[in-house]
Amino acid sequence: MSFVLAIDQGTTSSRAMVFRSDISIAAVAQQEFPQHFPASGWVEHEPEDIWTSTVMTCRDALEKAGLAAKDIAAIGITNQRETTVVWDRATGQAVHRAIVWQDRRTADICAKLKAEGHEPDVSARTGLIIDPYFSGTKVAWILDHVPGARERAERGELMFGTVDCYLLWRLTGGKVHATDATNASRTLLFNIHNGTWDDTLLNLLRVPRSMLPEVKDSSADFGTTTPDLFGGPIKVAGIAGDQQAATIGQACFTPGMMKSTYGTGCFALLNTGATPVKSNNKLLTTIAYQLNGVRTYALEGSIFVAGSAVQWLRDGLGIIKHAAETGPLADKSDSMQSVYLVPAFVGLGAPYWNPRVRGALFGLTRNTGPAELAHATLESVCYQTYDLWAAMRADWPDASAATIVLRVDGGMTASDWTMQRLADLLDAPVDRPMIQETTALGAAYLAGLQAGVYPEPEKFADNWRLEHRFRPAMSAATRQRKLAGWARAVKGVLASDEGE
């Protein structure tokens, strides 16, 4: 039993990966599932689609690896965070589609809570801001909008969970209703300081305590799958939200280590150790992982648009056919032009948190063409990362004494041009790992740690392998000039909101 099965349940697809004891990958299976957009700003998933795609990919991965349930030491789960499911305790049927993390339907609820002055207390308890992104207001919305749901919840008939929790309940045949501390910390209902559900927050959002799962360590005994699913029982032994799992997969176990994942958007987490650091720059304070009852905290910054800006070049403007073309195209750009793209297509994330502003291009000349637009697009991701980097360094008291190490993963990291420019603008090394599947690896590690397949964090960190280190090569004067131009561009975009 030297294999671990990782479930990586994402926003657009479910994946399953089998890892060997040396963390090499034995098999991968993936299946996309439908997205539902019933109204402007609403995003939903059918919970049954999440469940069936998860089971199918697990079976496919086991088959590809030539393995049976008896060969798997444990299952680890990582998941799209904040997505909310409410289901019937007796039947397992969801009372409403899952409301996805991207969904904005509770904006009015959030605005009301802010207007009433609740945000400082909520932030002090949760490390979060009041925003539709998080689960708490989604639960309240379901209870208020599904006929009879609130009465049933108060009678103890309904359960709430994030996607990991819902999958665990189904995998164990309804025997285990539990989540881990990282997912709990994204709900707006969890006190990250004492590690418990918070009655003040539950009362504020009117969520009955009986709905909530037990909160465990990220590496723990989460029960056993029913034998009929995979031809035999398998232990579930690890759970973490996707960005925290990537932090673990990148072996960022030491305070000062930072990982940045570049997908549709970008999520950066900085390990701050045993101390939850309060942000003065609109970053989130979150739990990075919890092992042996000990919580490790992180500062997190979210960029809404990273890889999706490259998709815009391809699908919106039609100036490239494949994402891989952007680096070579950017390399041909006119060095005398200073074109800036602020890709606020859906507003700006951290450290600005302004959902109302929209994107803009600055510095266009008659000579601006596809190469300059590609250059500006790739650079925009680097500038946004710099903003998070600078905010984290300003927030974290130990930043001046520590050498912050940035480890990167996700689709955009395949672009050498972008990673080199990132190192140049940060004036710091950027490390790209051999294993890019860091999210699934993090889930596998948590399960394998509990099952005895993988060693303690310090030893696991020794297994992390560098594929390439990008070192800064830009002059200080050029860096300062470019960053000043970016700051002016962002200021211009933010000013457009004030002028309306």
Q: What dihedral angle (degrees, nearest 10) is formed by the CA atoms of 475, 480, 481, 482?
A: 90
Q: What angle do CA 186, 295, 174 make, to 5 degrees?
A: 55
Pairing label, strands 158-162, 44-45: unpaired
Mean pLDDT of 262-274: 89
Per-residue confidence (pLDDT) for residue 397, from 0 to 100: 75
403-414 pLDDT tens trace: 677 899 988 898
pLDDT band at 484 (very low <50, low <70, confident <90, very high): very high
CB 281 within 8 A of CB 341: no
pLDDT at 500 over 70: no
Place of tokens 């697990």: 58
pLDDT at 80 over 80: yes
Q: Calculate the average pLDDT of the chain.
A: 91
Neighbours of 201 (CB within 10 A): 20
85-94 pLDDT tens trace: 999 999 999 9
CA–CA separation, 76 vs 222, rounded Å?
10
Range of lowest pLDDT (62-66, 95-99, 168-172, 263-267): 263-267
Q: How far is CA 205 from the centre of its chain?
A: 24
Per-residue confidence (pLDDT) for residue 69, from 0 to 100: 95
- Domains, the chain, ranges and CATH? 3-242 (3.30.420.40), 251-500 (3.30.420.40)
pLDDT band at 99 (very low <50, low <70, confident <90, very high): very high
Range of lowest pLDDT (49-53, 215-219, 222-226, 252-256): 252-256
279-318 pLDDT tens trace: 998 899 999 999 999 999 999 998 888 888 888 888 888 9
428-444 pLDDT tens trace: 899 999 888 899 999 99
Instruction: Report residue 37 as tokens.
Output: 């957009």
Per-residue confidence (pLDDT) for residue 448, from 0 to 100: 95
Give the contacts of 312 (CB within 8 A, at least 6 positions apart).
343, 345, 377
Distances (CA, A) of 335 to 309, 363, 367, 481, 483: 21, 13, 12, 13, 16
Per-residue confidence (pLDDT) for residue 176, from 0 to 100: 96
178-196 pLDDT tens trace: 999 999 999 999 999 999 9
Q: Which helix (H) or strand (E) holds 483?
A: helix 476-498
CA–CA separation, 247 vs 270, rounded Å?
9
Q: Could you give the percent of the chain with pLDDT greater than 70?
A: 98
- Long-range contacts, stretch 189-192, CB < 8 angstroms, 24+ apart: 189/126, 189/135, 189/136, 189/139, 190/126, 190/215, 191/125, 191/126, 192/125, 192/126, 192/127, 192/276, 192/285, 192/286, 192/287, 192/295, 192/297
Mean pLDDT of 366-382: 91
Give the contacts of 357 (CB within 8 A, at least 6 positions apart).
344, 347, 348, 493, 494, 496, 497
Residue of 208 and 34 predicted with greater confidence? 208
**Residues recorded for the chain:** 500
Per-residue confidence (pLDDT) for residue 238, from 0 to 100: 97
CA–CA separation, 148 vs 150, rounded Å?
6
Place of tokens 């919840």: 153
Mean pLDDT of 196-212: 96
